[in-house]
Amino acid sequence: NRGMGFGGLSTGGGLGSGSYLDVKNFCCPDYLVTMLQVLQKNWSARQEVDGETLVKFRIQRDGRLTDIELERSSGFPALDLTAQRALFQTQRVPALPSAFPDDSLTVHLRFEYRR
């Protein structure tokens, strides 16, 4: 998933310097690639300053994005808002895979900005 402007998305859960999920061994890595591609359409990594923002959100069973919150600031309010705005504008990604048993998936996504 690197090269898309997002931190690598770990499917193993737990903290790290990159992005991660709140579940261990997520069943469907292809779903994550698709989800990131959808988000990429509403977000731009090219900004006036370099920085990283970590945003937490939940994907509901039907693909709606909810509970969007800033988890770690870049130190630049404009970068933080740009990351959150991308999620609010996207509103929905594909529905969660039927192989995933839970009603929602919590994602901690790192947005990487470069000049």
**Residue pLDDT, tens place only, 39-64:** 988 888 888 888 889 999 999 999 99
Report the distance separating Cα 27 and Cα 43, nearest Å: 26
Residue 2 above 60 pLDDT?
A: no
Q: Beta-strand (E) ranges in 1-115?
A: 9-10, 19-21, 51-60, 65-72, 104-113
Report the distance separating Cα 66 and Cα 14, nearest Å: 21
Report the distance separating Cα 63 and Cα 100, nearest Å: 13
Q: What is the pTM of this model?
A: 0.85
Higher pLDDT, 112 or 58: 58
* Residues present in the chain in total: 115
